[in-house]
Every structure is written in structure tokens, then in C-alpha cells.
Structure 1
Amino acid sequence: MDILAVRGRQYAKEDEKTYQQWFDYADTDQDGRLTGPDAVKFFGLSQLQRAELKQVWAVADSRRQGFLGFKEFVTAMQVISLAQTGNPITADMLKETDTENISPPNMEGLDELIAAALKKSRSPTSGNVNVNGTTPSQTAQWFDKKTPRKTESDFDCKPMVMLLGQYSTGKTTFIKHLLRGEYPGAHIGPEPTTDRFVVVMGGDDERSVPGNTIAVQADMPFSGLTKFGTAFLSKFEVSLMPHTLLEHITFVDTPGVLSGEKQRTQRSYDFTGVTEWFASKCDLILLLFDPHKLDISDEFKRVIGSLRGHDDKIRVVLNKADQVDTQQLMRVYGALMWSLGKVLNTPEVMRVYIGSFNDKPINDNVVGPIGKELFEHEQNDLLADLKDIPRKACDRRINEFVKRARAAKIHAYIIGHLKKEMPAMMGKVKAQQRLVDNLEEEFAKVQKEYHLPLGDFPDVERFREILQGYSIDKFEKLKPKMVQAVDDMLGHEIPELLKRFRNPYD
């Protein structure tokens, strides 16, 4: 019997075709990686208990990558096979077993599922081509560069509030103030204390879960963070605790944005990219300043720039405002508005809340009776804004879905136009370079031809950067019927959906 080696272990060659077919079916993105959500669906066919499947994943993903390649997938299948015969699951169980004699596990109904998938893929009317004519995996790779894909957990999770600001502007203290106590892993001090992204959410007991672990849990909306690698996941954790407020809202505490000489020290992960990822998931984004840290550093500018498209979620908080007197506060407020105006590049005035969000009483000696009354009104307004989040969460999620659908439609028009401008035979390389160099003009042509709102178009420089990694000639032509299907969905199906379902938080 021919034997093949997998990560130092053995399996029969006649089983290779079976394992490969299973892996291709389970890998819905077709990128050679089996993510947590895909594994949950596929491993569930083994009929093992959820606790057992959790152990299977731990054994297979021994390097804590957050996904399984083909070799790790075979390891998982061998562990499942042994577990189905009554063997207890341990980290060393395959080392103690003659793996070449382990048969593939029994996956209930898998043959029928694979047969149905193959039949669907061969059908000329199957959904294997997206709106812009590309395959699903191509489109997924493109859009993942900008916005994370939505999963069921994104719609089921609690509304999220993210806090951004420089070190010691009171982000962690703000959360502590709302919770009336500390959450697991919270550190507060004048020096940089929060060095990681911490998601504070409700749980049955108080504990902290490392990022590598939480990113592979299918019931959590954080699987998309695996694309930032282990360097980031080691700086990410979820803090669970039982709390009435956390039954309705989840908070995202972030590391302090670097300023001054600290900016020269590069982070080991894409801080702006991670911030952008969370911004797309959050329902509210609080930018915290304090009266003595009004400067907006280069990193802070990049972070605020990454929030483009989420302007309706942003609120500004001038925290620790009782550290200056009334006259100074007027000047600080004016300086802050001037700085924000340059960075946000918008004529609208951003809403700025003034207060001192901690457990200490307001310093009457500094702010005076008028300032104290102002602080109380401002704090009440901000708290009312936070209380309103759960009620509006359902509408906001539908709003985000509509925004993504409109973005996908415009993306389809752009790709279809660029494809149409490519020559049929010679000079494809030069033609692509010309299109990329003159992308602004091509956007204008698309906007004029299809009468699209200019504000819905993506950032030209970002689009140009991503487009460099693709061959325009490989894209298929625009499918007008598919674009019409999106229009029908936006014009008829979404309004009907809103009539049928009420907000679960009402």
C-alpha cells in the first residue's frame, strides 16, 4: 500500500483523493485555507459534540495560525476518525497511533452535499459569477482589501463602540466609568498602559481570551482579523464579564495613537488597517482628546483618514476638561475645532462633547458653577447617544448592508468599463498601465455614462494601488441582468424586509 507523509505523519495514498475533495468542498473561499466558520460547518457533519470539535481544532491548528491548510485539515480528519471510534482526544494522540491505518471519518451526508455542489457549479445559471463577472473568490479577494465580509455573527452580535485617541486621554477610564468598575485586563496610568486592542463584552464569568483563540470562534465576529497575522492577534484580546450594560453594547478599547518621537517606532502590525476593520463593524466611534493633547499626529491623521465613509458614526469627546478653567476651555475648544477641520476636510461641524468622564467629582474650583452645569448637560447628551445605540442597531446594520451593495454595484460598473477599454489582442500591458495612470478620467467616464453619484465612488489612489495587483484582461464583461438584480433588491426587497421585521431591541 502506497503511503504519503503529512506533517511528519502518514496516510494511505488511496485516501488522498478523498481528503483533497473534502478540503476543496470545505474551503468556500478557494484560497487554500479553511477558516473557523467553514470548519464549523464541515466538522459538524462528523456528529461529534461541540466540545470535542473544539479539541480537534486545537490539535490540528497547533501553530495557532487561525486557519487550516491541507496538511492540518488531514490531521483534523484523522483526529475525528479516532474520536468516532471512542478514543479520547489529546494533543499527542496521533503520535501514539499508526496513522497510515486510519481511515477517513464518517461525515454524514457529505457525499450528497458534494454531488449537489458539483451539479450546481456545472449549471450555466449557477451563481458562480458575481455582479462584475468575476468568480466569487476573485471578488472576495478584491473586497477583502477594503471591507471585511459579513457573516451571520456580524448580524447577531451586540452593537459596538470603539474608542480612539492618544495615550492617557482616558479611553480605558471612560469604559470603567460606564461600567462602574474595572474589566478583566484593564490597566490605567499616566504612562502608555493599553498596548493592545481589547474588546469588552458580556459573558458568564470574568476572564480574558487571547486573540488567536477568539479569532477562530465561529460565533464571534472576529474571524476576519486573522488576515492581520499573528503579530496583531498577539496584541488583541477579548475581555468577558457579566454586566447589564454589556448585554446591550460591546466596547472596543484601543492602544494609544502614537505622537512625536514615538511615531518613528513602527508597530509590528497594520494599526490603521485594524482600525479601519473595526470601524466598519462598529456602530459608534469616539475620538477622545484631552486639553493638553490637541495635536493630531501623522498616525492619528492616517487613522482618522481610514474612517472615511463612517462619518455618521464619529463623535468627538474633549475629556478631562475640568483640568482647565472656563477661559482656557474656550480657547482649547476653538483650537480643537480648527485642528479637526483640517483633518476631516468637511464643511460640517463635528459634534464635540465636553466633560470629564471618570469617577472623580468635577473640579468646581476650576470650572465654576457655569462650567459644572455645562459638563453635566454634555455628559447626559453623550450618555443618551450611547443608550440610543441598541435601538438603532438593526437599522444601522441594514444601512451598512445597503452601503456595501451600492459599493459593489459601482465596483461592477468600474471593472466592466475597464475591461471594455482593454484591447482584444495586442498591447494589453500598455493599455492596463494607461488605464491605471488615468483612473480619475475613467471614473468620470463611468459616472457620466451610468449617471452615478460621485460621492459613492471609492478613493482613487486606494483603488489604483489595489488594481496594480490584478490583470484587467482576466475580468469578464459586465452582466447587466446581475446589476438589475441588485437594483431590484435595493428598490423593492430591502423596503419589504424593513416592513416585515422589527428591531429586536425595541
Structure 2
Amino acid sequence: MEIDSAPISRCSKENQKIYQDWFAFADSDGDGRLTGADATKFFALSNLPRHDLKQVWAIADSKRQGFLGFKEFITAVQLVSLAQAGHALTSDIIYAEVDFESLKPPAMDGLEALLAKKKHTPKSDLEQNGIPQLQSSPSANWFSSSKSAKKVSLSSVTSIVDGLKKLYVQKLKPLEATYRFNDFVSPLLTNSDFDAKPMVMLLGQYSTGKTTFIKHLLKTSYPGAHIGPEPTTDRFVVVMNGPDERSIPGNTIAVQADMPFSGLTTFGTSFLSKFECSQMPHPLLEHITFVDTPGVLSGEKQRTQRSYDFTGVISWFAAKCDLILLLFDPHKLDISDEFKRVIASLRGHDDKIRVVLNKADQVDTQQLMRVYGALMWSLGKVLNTPEVTRVYIGSFNDKPINEVATGPIGKELFEKEQDDLLADLKNIPKKACDRRINEFVKRARAAKIHAYIISHLKKEMPAMMGKAKTQQRLVDNLEVEFGKVQREFHLPAGDFPNVEHFREVLSGYSIDKFEKLKPKMIQSVDDMLGYDIPELLKNFRNPYD
């Protein structure tokens, strides 16, 4: 599987040098990011109609970052060449049979004179090895010092993600810290949480083909991959891009500031010893990170207690992931008690869940129909949703499909299903920015509700006598208190946290020491949701809209 978001590899070195000079000229502030304002000035020299330039931006900025890096800039320039040659600009044109290697640079009216005028100025420090590099974002400093974030106006940030970082540090993080949202729901976000690549998590019982599925997509093995009929992956393995092939232990990866896994330290050393990062250079991993999980236990094996909070870890990864694949095979359709708990921990992330019926070529067509029906029945009882979950049927490994069992119809079905699943995976990087905004808004609403709950519990505490007795009553009757908060502030019941988990965490705190409701903080988050985020999206929409 390949995700070719920019055809830089098919651009000649001679043209790449030309485009490097063009990019340095167009990038007015020299930060390695071509914003909409810079792009409209530069591409106006092409004399293309506005609707063509709108399509150029839409294809080049397919990830909706709100800016063009050097690779995306080359994509845009090559699209301009094709448009000038009379090609229709469609979203799949960069995969068309065009010789990008010999594609001539587009005609840019007056650009040579403008470049000549600029030649007397010194070269940008951003040019390393002939290719402009994206500067590390100053937003990294905002998380260590909120003062530096407050000095920057929202209009001066150069991407949607940087805008979200600023809003988080300025408006949402203070609310989370005040009402201990990080202890009850989710750890405070770091710079690396915003910059992380999209993640895909694979869940299923042992020997349903999770590790083989990743190897099938990568078309190669990866460090730490083990395959067998019994539970072989006994740890969480994050498969991500890196300069060389190596495995990094969990304790090491959890304390690296540039990795989005610092929140896993809350699960303790027992978990971190069962966690590792597998790095390798791979074009697919430049766009997507995979999370391989231990096989969910069933039967007698469930009696063996894990040494860490398995469902808690799954829930943590589910919040970070862009896609969750539940893998089954025709001979393992039963959903064990542990698997039920795992699926229950995915509550609130239903839109990310896809089901894969793997190894489907091990049964004939008639049996497959029965297996599919049994799987849908089992899932219906566990997922508790009226919507039908999308199920991909196939055999996701490197072996040829067993046509003896499936027949020609089965083979054609599997190939179509595999194409659909790969298309779903290819869309992940394109939807990553939208997903990040979606998760950010969900988090802000959850933090608001958490603040209402905590402040309500604080308000119910007596000023002097009987504090211990009142706290016990509040903890025991948490469902009733949730109902009061819901009615008082007109909040949707489905947005409230899990009562049992909240009660478990709350029992370790003294409610009397919680903060009272601070309306200014709530109003600040409301302003962020109602005004700042829409304004941010407006600033970084297609500049030709």
C-alpha cells in the first residue's frame, strides 16, 4: 500500500532546484510554510483562472493543513503546468500516467525579473542540502510557558494545528488544570500530541491476523513482529517511521518529549514493560502510525489477570487514534468477557471503528454467509448501536486467495473489499486535520462538563461539620448528582463521563479542596468553541474560496 501525497520523487533534480528558488521567493517570512496569502500572490503569475487555482490548492493541500510545505508546493507547481497544458484538474490527476520527471516548469509571468531583483539578498538559512526545510514551530515553547502563547495573536499563526495549540494553552488548559481534568479523564496535552501522525489501532483475539495485517500493508516485516497460532504479541507495539530499524523500550519512549506517549506513564511500570516502539524507514509510515495490541483473551485464559489496566490503555489509545480496526476470523467469532470490556472502553469513538472479517478464504461461500450473519448478531449485542457497523471481508495476508474454497465470486468480493479498506486507510492522512479539530472540540466539551460536575460537588459540601459524611453520600449517589448538573446547565446526558470510573477516581480526593465554578473560565471556552475555532478554520480555508 502506498500513499503518494506529493509526486516530488518524480520531479527531476534540475526542476527541483528551480522550484527551490521559487519557494524561497514565495515564502515571505521564510518559515518553510507557504500560507494562503503568499500562494495567491505567487500563483497569480500563472495567469490561470481562479477556479483552476482553487483546484490546485485543494489537491496540493489535501491534508487541509492550511499551508503548503516544499513537497506540497512542488505538487501545486506541477498542477499549474498541467492546467496550462490543457489538462482537467481532478483529485486523482497526480496518479495519472503523466511523466512528472520530464514535466516542464509552468510559465510564470514576470517571475524571472522578480527573482533577479531578489538575487542580491543573502540565501535563507532554511536551505539545507538544496531543499528548504520546515522550521520547528515556535508553538513548542507555548507548552512550557503560557506567556509566550499569549504574546502571539491568532491571526499570526501559520497553520490550523498551531492555532489549536494556541487556543489550548490560552483557554482550555487552564480549565483542565483547575478542575483536575487530567486526573479524571485524560492527561494534559503536549506539543507532540498535536504534531503526531494519524494512528490506526488493531484489536482482536489472538491469531486473528493483526500483526500479519500490518506486515501485509508494509509489504515487509518490522522489528519485534512475532506471528503464531497462540498469543505471540504479548505487548503493545507502536510501528512508526524512523531513520533506522530498531525497537525502543516503553520506559524510554514514554519520556521522549517529541513522542505523543507521555500520558502512558500513568499506567505504571508494569504496563511500560509491555510497551515498545518499533521504528523503521517506510513511505507508508511517513503518513500513518500503527498500534499492534496483545490478543484479547478468551476462555480459560481470561482467568489470568493482566498486571496492568488493559482496557484503560485501550481507551487511552482509542482517544488518540484516527481509526480502530476490530479483527475477527471465521473460527473465532465469540466475543469473550474481556473483549466486551475492551469494546465498551471504545465508547464515544464509534465513528472510528471498522470491523475486519479476516481469513475469510478459509471457509466456502455458504459458510461465509452464516459466519457474517453470526458476526453481525454478536456485534449488535455488544456495540449497542442501531447503526450497522461497516465490515470488511477478506484475507489480508501475502498468500494468494484460496479459490478452491471461495470460488471466483469470493475472489472478486475479497479484492473489492480490500480496495475499499485500503481506500479508507489512504483517506486517513487527508482527514487527519479534520479529525484533530473534531477531537479538540470533543475534549473542550468534556472539560466543561467535568468543571460543572466538580464545582457542583464542591458546592454541595458543608462549610464546617459533617464533611466526611457528605462526601460519602455524594460519592454513593453520583448518578443523582450527575442528573442535577445535567438539568441545571441543560447538558446532554450522553456527554457525561462513565459513573463507575468517575466514582473510583473521586474516592481518592477530598471534594472540599476542589475549586468553585469560575464563570470566566467557562465563558472563555465557550468563546473558543463559538468564535475562535470557526475563525481559525475561516483563516485557513482554501484562499480561492
Note whether the superposition's TM-score is higher than 0.5: yes
Distance (whole Å) between structure 2 residues aligned to residue 346 and residue 281 of structure 1: 22
Cα deviations across residues 226-270 of structure 1 (Å, max 9, x unaligned)? 222222222111111111101100101111111111111112222
- From 528, 533, 539, the equivalent of 1:489 is 528
- Structure with the bigger RCO (C-alpha within 8 Å, sep 6+) is 2
Look up the match of 1:393. 432
- From 187, 199, 218, the equivalent of 2:226 is 187
Q: 1:293 to 1:238 in 2, by over 3 A?
A: same
Cα deviations across residues 76-116 of structure 1 (Å, max 9, x unaligned)? xxxxxxxxxxxxxxxxxxxxxxxxxxxxxxxxxxxxx99x9
- From 422, 429, 433, the equivalent of 2:468 is 429
Look up the match of 2:410. 371
Look up the match of 1:238. 277
Look up the match of 2:487. 448
C-alpha displacement at 1:131, in angstroms?
Answer: 8.3
C-alpha displacement at 1:354, in angstroms?
Answer: 0.6
Distance (whole Å) between structure 1 residues aligned to residue 270 and residue 476 of structure 2: 34
Pair 1:335-2:369 in alignment: no
One-letter amino acid matched to 1:481: K
Q: Is the 8 A contact 1:174 1:358 kept in 2?
A: yes
The 5-angstrom pairing of residues 410-429 of structure 1 reads 410-429=449-468
Look up the match of 2:188. 149
Pair 1:175-2:214 in alignment: yes
C-alpha displacement at 1:502, in angstroms?
Answer: 5.8
Q: 1:365 to 1:134 in 2, by over 3 A?
A: closer
Q: Is the 8 A contact 1:288 1:319 kept in 2?
A: yes
Cα deviations across residues 265-304 of structure 1 (Å, max 9, x unaligned)? 1122221111111111111110000000011111111111
Look up the match of 1:311. 350
- From 334, 345, 362, the equivalent of 1:323 is 362
Distance (whole Å) between structure 1 residues aligned to residue 456 and residue 334 of structure 2: 43
Pair 1:199-2:264 in alignment: no
C-alpha displacement at 1:172, in angstroms?
Answer: 0.5
One-letter amino acid matched to 2:381: K
Q: Is the 8 A contact 2:393 2:417 kept in 1?
A: yes
Look up the match of 1:34. none
One-letter amino acid matched to 2:318: A
Q: Is the 8 A contact 1:132 1:412 kept in 2?
A: no
Cα deviations across residues 184-217 of structure 1 (Å, max 9, x unaligned)? 1211121221111111111111111111211111
Cα deviations across residues 280-337 of structure 1 (Å, max 9, x unaligned)? 1111110000000011111111111111111111111000011111111111111111
Distance (whole Å) between structure 2 residues aligned to residue 460 and residue 234 of structure 1: 30
Look up the match of 2:42. none
Pair 1:467-2:506 in alignment: yes
Q: Is the 8 A contact 2:236 2:275 kept in 1?
A: yes
Q: Is the 8 A contact 1:132 1:477 kept in 2?
A: no
Same amino acid, percent of matched pairs: 82
Look up the match of 1:349. 388
Q: 1:315 to 1:170 in 2, by over 3 A?
A: same
Look up the match of 1:63. none
C-alpha displacement at 1:134, in angstroms?
Answer: 8.4
Q: 1:293 to 1:367 in 2, by over 3 A?
A: same
SS at match of 2:276: strand
SS at match of 1:337: helix
Distance (whole Å) between structure 1 residues aligned to residue 354 and residue 171 of structure 2: 36
Q: Is the 8 A contact 2:184 2:502 kept in 1?
A: no
Distance (whole Å) between structure 2 residues aligned to residue 325 and residue 202 of structure 1: 39
Q: 1:263 to 1:224 in 2, by over 3 A?
A: same
Distance (whole Å) between structure 2 residues aligned to residue 410 and residue 193 of structure 1: 41
TM-score by length of 2: 0.66
One-letter amino acid matched to 1:291: P
Distance (whole Å) between structure 1 residues aligned to residue 440 and residue 351 of structure 2: 15
Distance (whole Å) between structure 2 residues aligned to residue 388 and residue 134 of structure 1: 34
Q: 1:134 to 1:469 in 2, by over 3 A?
A: farther
SS at match of 1:388: helix
How many corresponding residue pairs?
379
Pair 1:362-2:401 in alignment: yes
The 5-angstrom pairing of residues 60-79 of structure 1 reads none
SS at match of 2:206: coil
C-alpha displacement at 1:436, in angstroms?
Answer: 2.0
Q: 1:282 to 1:441 in 2, by over 3 A?
A: same
Q: 1:475 to 1:169 in 2, by over 3 A?
A: same
Distance (whole Å) between structure 2 residues aligned to residue 385 and residue 326 of structure 1: 25
Look up the match of 2:337. 298
- CA RMSD across the alignment: 2.4
C-alpha displacement at 1:171, in angstroms?
Answer: 0.2
208-217 vs 352-361, which moves further: 208-217
SS at match of 1:424: coil
C-alpha displacement at 1:397, in angstroms?
Answer: 0.9
